[in-house]
């Protein structure tokens, strides 16, 4: 199945404890590159999230943005009672040692000391089952991204099929023209050999002459290239319905097709075949460009 490498997905989940929103964008890349923006307290989720992404995508640059907002009672940052008590005792003891008042300091004066009030990380990790909630929303986002990539891929597959149809039509015209061209080549070659034999002392069945004639005839024969092109177009068409990622193989086949049609254009020595070969090259270039956009 052809899937585009470009797409967008978004999903959100909200309950009385937390709001989780995930946004994913993907663009073209020969390989898979995952970039994540996560809240400070959830950097431990980078690996699980990347593993999820890799289950859904094999190529492309993927940018994922995660927003986690505590709600209700979960918004309250926890107070570390043990740390607060230790500060209180230390300050009271210091006051007695220095001759100051023995009464404890006001508790609100201690709230700004390090470790007394929980950090963002403590706030987020205090939400029960947060990791499972986040990965569930990420998975839903990736499924929506998949659907968009599949829809765009179906459109691209249709374009690729139309290009293949046009290429095969041109190749059929070349195939039909090839026998006539070969007949003309043989006639010119026979006339040339006859002219050469008239000027030099060389027998018609001389081995060196036979080798040269065979070489020239083979140089003008494009049947092998046409056969390979037919095979490549069949393979390419099969990839359009393959369940596996096919972008790289499509690119490779397009390169091979270009090589074959280039050879046909140089060997045929015929204006009509050369014209058709140019049109096939244009089509193969379009195949290659489109293949660089699919997974």
Instruction: Domain ranges for the chain, please list them.
Output: 7-74+121-150, 79-117, 151-291
pLDDT at 97: 74
The DSSP H or E segment spanning 60 is: strand 60-70
Sign, Cα dihedral of 243, 244, 248, 252: negative
Q: Which residues of 23-58 are buried (b: 16+ CB within 10 A; e: fewer)?
A: bbbbeeeeebebebebbebbeebeeebbebbeebbe
Tens of pLDDT along the chain (295 residues) come to: 789 999 999 999 998 888 899 999 999 998 999 999 998 778 889 999 999 999 999 999 999 999 988 876 655 666 677 777 787 787 777 777 776 655 666 767 776 677 666 555 545 655 778 888 999 999 999 999 999 999 999 999 999 999 999 999 999 999 888 777 666 666 666 566 666 556 655 555 555 545 555 555 556 678 889 999 999 999 999 999 888 889 999 999 999 999 999 999 888 778 888 899 999 999 999 999 999 999 9
pLDDT at 119: 53
Tokens 């149809």, residue located: 165
What's the CA gap between 168 and 160, in Å, rounded? 12
Domain 151-291, CATH number (from 1.20.120, 1.10.3470, 3.40.50, 1.10.3210): 1.20.120
For the domain covering 7-74+121-150, report its CATH number. 3.30.230
Rounded-to-10 torsion of CA 38, 41, 45, 47: 80
Phi, psi (degrees; rounded to nearest 5) at 4? -70, 155
∠ CA 30-31-34, nearest 5°, is: 130
Strand pairing category for 60-70 and 32-37: parallel
Predicted model pTM: 0.70
Sign, Cα dihedral of 285, 289, 290, 295: positive
> Helices 130-199 and 223-239 sit at what angle, rounded to 10 degrees?
170
User: Which token pair is 137?
Assistant: 């929303």
What's the CA gap between 287 and 282, in Å, rounded? 9
User: Which token pair is 252?
Assistant: 């490779």
Three-state SS at 23 = strand
What's the CA gap between 30 and 288, in Å, rounded? 13
Using an 8 Å Cβ cutoff, are 45 and 135 in contact? yes
Q: Do domains 7-74+121-150 and 151-291 have the same CATH topology?
A: no
């Amino acid at each position: 199945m052809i899937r585009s490498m470009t797409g967008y997905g978004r999903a959100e989940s909200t309950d009385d404890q937390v709001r989780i929103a995930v946004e994913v964008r993907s663009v073209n890349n020969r390989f898979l590159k995952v970039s994540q923006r996560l809240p400070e307290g959830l950097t431990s989720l980078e690996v699980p999230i990347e593993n999820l992404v890799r289950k859904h995508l094999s190529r492309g640059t993927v940018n994922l943005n995660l927003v986690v907002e505590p709600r209700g009672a979960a918004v309250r940052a926890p107070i570390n009672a043990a740390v607060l008590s230790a500060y209180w005792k230390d300050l009271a003891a210091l006051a007695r040692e220095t001759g100051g008042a023995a009464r404890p300091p006001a508790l609100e004066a201690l709230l700004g000391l390090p470790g007394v009030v929980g950090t963002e990380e403590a706030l987020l990790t205090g939400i029960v089952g947060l990791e499972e909630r986040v990965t569930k929303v990420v998975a839903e986002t990736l499924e929506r991204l998949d659907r968009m990539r599949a829809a765009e891929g179906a459109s691209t597959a249709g374009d690729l099929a139309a290009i293949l149809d046009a290429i095969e039509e041109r190749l059929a015209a070349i195939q039909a023209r090839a026998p006539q061209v070969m007949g003309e080549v043989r006639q010119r070659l026979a006339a040339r050999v006859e002219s050469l034999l008239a000027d030099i002392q060389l027998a018609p069945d001389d081995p060196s002459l036979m080798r040269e004639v065979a070489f020239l005839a083979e140089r003008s024969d494009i049947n092998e290239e046409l056969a390979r092109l037919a095979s490549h177009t069949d393979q390419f068409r099969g990839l359009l319905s393959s369940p596996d990622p096919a972008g790289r193989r499509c690119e490779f086949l397009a390169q091979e097709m270009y090589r074959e049609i280039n050879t046909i254009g140089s060997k045929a020595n015929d204006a009509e075949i050369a014209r058709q070969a140019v049109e096939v090259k244009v089509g193969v270039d379009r195949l290659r460009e489109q293949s660089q956009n699919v997974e």
